[in-house]
């Protein structure tokens, strides 16, 4: 991935509609327009208001494919 940034793909997590699903956080940690006191990641370090592409679509697809393969091996 470019610039050693990691796309956070998590799960599978329970889903009422689908049974299981993967979560995809395609924004680097703590790049946000808010600094919510209840955020599980902590205070925002880089408050941003401009729209920006953090990852290329191919990077996200590759990360999802890798997570699916890893999940299929463990189940």
User: How much is the pLDDT for 65?
Assistant: 95
Given a cut of 50, the residues of the chain with pLDDT beneath it are 1-4
Dist. CA 43–CA 67, nearest whole Å: 27
User: How much is the pLDDT for 61?
Assistant: 95
- Predicted TM-score (pTM) of the model is 0.69
User: How much is the pLDDT for 59?
Assistant: 93
7: exposed, middle or buried (Cβ count in 10 Å: 0-12, 13-18, 19+): buried
- Residue 8 CB neighbour total at 10 angstroms: 14
């Amino acid at each position: 991935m470019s610039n050693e940034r990691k796309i956070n793909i998590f799960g599978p997590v329970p889903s009422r509609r689908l049974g299981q699903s993967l979560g995809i956080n395609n924004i680097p940690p703590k790049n946000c327009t808010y600094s919510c006191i209840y955020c599980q990641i902590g205070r925002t370090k880089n408050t941003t208001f401009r729209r920006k592409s953090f990852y290329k679509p191919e990077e996200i697809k590759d990360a999802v494919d890798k997570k699916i393969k890893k999940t299929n091996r463990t189940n």
